């Protein structure tokens, strides 16, 4: 346990209002790398499941026909913004590309706000349940401020003023709009195939049940997914709780930040240009609007929090 809480001590010495990016980077790259990546995956999964949002995604075919590329593009754009912030060239390029991708669609502000809420609330709740420690108030505040900054730069309005207010809004919107729909079911079938490839080989026979167990009951209903047997749900819960305790008791702080050697994806084994991420039909817009940075597989995210 030596030094286990050093990053937390440094985080508590920072001012979230000024240092929210550094705090959020520390959460992703040092304190909770596996949990944060999984939490963000679950957040994106949920954001695709509201009927109105799911209908847009199935209409484009990006998630149902080009699933691996769509997931990789989304992750790359998000991680570029987290690693570099919104003021560095790569972060600016990623934000610009996100806005370009969404610009052709008439998306309601509430739907944008719901997606933002998924990114704020879902990973945080995962940490609260399965992280090796609870996220502190500075980390909750920094998470809210990072996504508030992203939302404002995307033109999203009516963003709640605190993490707690956003969580309350999210739960109410989720309860009112997360309903069973065929579009969400189609997206889930496509993305499930990717999740199954990440199941350890000895657990392959339980793969489908384990994936379903990762979803909560409202999300399973929206995606029209049957609940797995209770021993699978209980076993997964116990395994994740045990992992958290072992990390807390015997873990040591990560010394090499996540993504030090770049963001590796199946779609772009030889590197990628930020301006070319996203739907291919609109690449020419990006190419005209952006003078691309030299975007290769190695990111230029600065080390934070003790690296």
Six token digits for residue 30:
């040092």
298 pLDDT exceeds 60?
A: no
pLDDT confidence band for 295 (50 / 70 / 90): very low
| CB-CB contact of 119 with 156 (8 Å) | no
Nearest to 210 by CA among 174, 184, 240, 180: 240
User: What is the rounded average pLDDT for all residues in the chain?
Assistant: 90
Name the residue among 115, 143, 117 with its Cα closest to residue 32: 143
User: Tens digits of per-residue pLDDT, 198-251?
Assistant: 787 888 899 999 999 999 999 999 999 999 999 999 999 999 999 999 999 999
Q: Which of 201, 114, 121, 178 is nearest to 151 (CA)?
A: 114
What is the per-residue DSSP string for 221-285? HHHT-PPPPHHHHHHHHHHHHHHHHHHHHH----SS-TTTT----SS-TT---GGG-S-GGGHHH
Q: What is the DSSP string of 147-175?
A: HHHHHHHTT-----SSHHHHHHHHHHHHH
Dump pLDDT digits (tens) for 102-119: 998 889 999 999 999 999
The answer to whether 48 touches 58, Cβ cutoff 8 Å, is no
CA dihedral sign of residues 122, 128, 132, 137: positive
Q: How far apart are CA 45 and CA 37, in angstroms?
A: 12
Rounded average pLDDT over 42-47? 94
Lowest mean pLDDT among 19-33, 63-77, 171-185, 292-306: 292-306
* Residue 1: predicted pLDDT: 58
**pLDDT for the residue numbered 69:** 94
Longest dimension (CA), the chain: 54
Residue 227 backbone class (left: φ over 0; alpha: ψ -120 to 50; beta: rest):
beta
Residue 156 has pLDDT above 80, yes or no: yes
Whether 261 and 298 have beta carbons less than 8 Å apart is answered as yes
CA distance 224 to 289: 41
Radius of gyration, alpha carbons of the chain: 19
Report d(CA 163, CA 211) in Å as an integer: 28
Q: Which pLDDT score is estimated for 284?
A: 37
Distance from the Cα of residue 78 to its chain's centroid: 8
Mean pLDDT of 271-283: 82
Q: What is the pLDDT of residue 2?
A: 64
| Percent share of the chain, pLDDT over 90 | 81
Three-class secondary structure of residue 126 per DSSP:
helix
Task: Look up tokens 């754009």; give the residue.
Answer: 77
């Amino acid at each position: 346990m030596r030094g286990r809480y050093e990053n937390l001590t440094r985080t508590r010495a920072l001012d979230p209002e000024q240092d929210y990016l550094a705090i959020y980077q520390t959460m992703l790259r040092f304190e909770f790398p596996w949990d944060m990546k999984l939490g963000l995956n679950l957040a994106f999964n949920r954001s695709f499941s509201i009927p109105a949002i799911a209908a847009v995604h199935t209409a484009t075919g990006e998630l149902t026909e080009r699933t691996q590329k769509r997931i990789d593009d989304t992750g790359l754009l998000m991680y570029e913004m987290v690693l570099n912030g919104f003021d560095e060239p790569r972060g600016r390029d990623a934000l610009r590309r996100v806005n370009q991708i969404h610009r052709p669609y008439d998306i309601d502000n509430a739907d944008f706000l719901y997606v933002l809420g998924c990114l704020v609330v879902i990973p945080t709740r995962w940490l609260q349940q399965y992280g090796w420690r609870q996220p502190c108030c500075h980390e909750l505040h920094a998470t809210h401020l990072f996504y508030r900054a992203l939302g404002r730069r995307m033109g999203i309005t009516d963003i709640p003023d605190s993490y707690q207010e956003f969580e309350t809004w999210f739960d109410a919107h989720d309860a009112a709009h997360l309903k069973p729909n065929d579009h969400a079911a189609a997206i889930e079938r496509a993305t499930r195939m990717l999740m199954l490839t990440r199941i350890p080989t000895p657990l392959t026979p339980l793969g489908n049940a384990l994936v379903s167990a990762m979803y909560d009951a409202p999300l399973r209903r929206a995606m029209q997914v049957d609940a797995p047997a209770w021993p699978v749900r209980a076993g997964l819960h116990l395994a994740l709780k045990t992992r958290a305790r072992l990390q807390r008791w015997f873990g040591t702080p990560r010394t090499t930040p996540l993504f030090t050697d770049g963001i590796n994806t199946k779609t772009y084994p030889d590197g990628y240009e930020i301006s070319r991420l996203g739907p291919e039909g609109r690449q020419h817009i990006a190419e005209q609007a952006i003078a691309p940075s030299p975007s290769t597989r190695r990111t230029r995210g600065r080390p934070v929090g003790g690296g």
